[in-house]
Structure 1
Amino acid sequence: MHIRATVAAVSGALALSAFALPAAHAADSAGSYRADVAKVQEAARAATGKTAFSTAADAADPQPYAMDVTFSDFKIAKAVKVGTTGNVSTKVTYTLTHGADVDITADDFLTGPFIYRGTFATPDNELFGDDPATCTATSDTTASCTGLVTAHPSEGELLNSDAGTWKGAALAIAYNGQDPTSDSFDITKVGYAEQGTLGTTLVQRYSKLTVNATPEPVKKGKTITVTGSLTRANWEDNKYHGYTSQPVKLQFRKKGSTTYTTLKGIYSSSTGTLKTTTKATVDGYYRFSFAGTTTTPAVSATGDYVDVQ
Structure 2
Amino acid sequence: MRTHTTAAVVSGAIVVSALALPAVAQAAERPGVSAGFGDFTAKPAHPNTSLGNITFSKAVINGGKDIVLGVATKKTVIVTYTATSSSGVALTEAFLWQGTDSSSTDTITGSLGTGDDPVCAESTTRTGVYSCEAVFHINAASDLKNNGVAGTWKLFLGGYDLYANASYNDDVATTRIKEASQLTLDATPEPVRKGKTITVTGKLKRANWNDGTYVGATGQKVLLQYRKKGSHTYTTLKTVTSGAGGALKTTTKATADGYYRFSFATSKTTAASTSADDYVDVK
Between 1:85-94 and 1:154-163, the stretch displaced more is: 154-163
Shift in CA distance, 222/161, structure 1 to aligned 2, threshold 3 Å: farther
Matched ranges for 1:13-32 at <5 A = 31-32=28-29
> Does residue 1:71 correspond to 2:45, yes or no?
no
> Does residue 1:167 correspond to 2:154, yes or no?
yes
More strand by share: 2
> Does residue 1:85 correspond to 2:72, yes or no?
yes
Q: TM-score, normalised by structure 2?
A: 0.76
Aligned partner of 1:114 in structure 2 is 95
CA distance in structure 1 between the aligned counterparts of 2:32 and 2:204, rounded to whole angstroms: 38
Alpha-carbon deviations, 1:280-307, whole Å to 9, x = none? Answer: 1111110111122101122221222222
Task: Please say if residues 3 and 125 of structure 1, whose CA atoms lie closer than 8 Å, have aligned partners that are also in contact.
Answer: no
Q: TM-score, normalised by structure 1?
A: 0.71
Q: How many residues align?
A: 252
2:273 is aligned, of 275, 299, 304, to 299
Alpha-carbon deviations, 1:141-193, whole Å to 9, x = none? Answer: 1111222234322115344862111222222247x8xxxxxxxxxxxx95532
Shift in CA distance, 248/89, structure 1 to aligned 2, threshold 3 Å: same
One-letter code of the match for 1:117? Q
1:245 is aligned, of 207, 213, 219, to 219
Q: Secondary structure at the match of 2:172?
A: coil
Shift in CA distance, 97/49, structure 1 to aligned 2, threshold 3 Å: closer
Task: Please say if residues 5 and 129 of structure 1, whose CA atoms lie closer than 8 Å, have aligned partners that are also in contact.
Answer: no
Q: Secondary structure at the match of 2:60?
A: strand
1:128 is aligned, of 106, 113, 117, to 113
Sequence identity percentage = 40
Shift of 1:237: 0.7
Aligned Cα root-mean-square deviation (Å): 3.1
CA distance in structure 2 between the aligned counterparts of 1:87 and 1:270, rounded to whole angstroms: 30
Matched ranges for 1:145-164 at <5 A = 145-159=132-146, 162-164=149-151
Q: Which runs of 5+ in 2 are unaligned?
A: 7-26
2:256 is aligned, of 255, 264, 282, to 282
One-letter code of the match for 1:261? T
One-letter code of the match for 1:83? G
